[in-house]
């Protein structure tokens, strides 16, 4: 592989990265469990913490 081909390959890589950058960033965001999803799970855990296990459905009756 000569120097010109290496340079051409590097140029192509840089150009490709520039074009694909926003797409890749979007895909990465889709792969993340978001801050909002995490907050929702934490809120559900806090609801379990606050559960009093009261109400007719929790009564043990004969």
Q: Which residues in this chain contact other proteins in the complex, by CB under 8 A?
A: 4, 8-9, 11-13, 16, 20, 24, 27-28, 30-35, 37-39, 41-42, 44-45, 47-49, 51, 53, 56-60
CA distance 11 to 17: 10
Least spacing, CB of residue 36 vs other proteins, in Å: 8
Structure tokens at 60: 């043990």
C-alpha distance across the termini of the chain, in Å: 85
Least spacing, CB of residue 40 vs other proteins, in Å: 9
Least spacing, CB of residue 20 vs other proteins, in Å: 7
């Amino acid at each position: 592989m000569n120097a010109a081909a290496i340079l051409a390959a590097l140029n192509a890589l840089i150009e490709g990265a520039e074009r694909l950058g926003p797409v890749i960033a979007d895909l990465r965001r889709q792969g993340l469990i978001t801050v909002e999803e995490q907050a929702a799970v934490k809120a559900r855990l806090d609801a379990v913490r606050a559960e009093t296990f009261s109400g007719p459905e929790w009564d043990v009756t004969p």
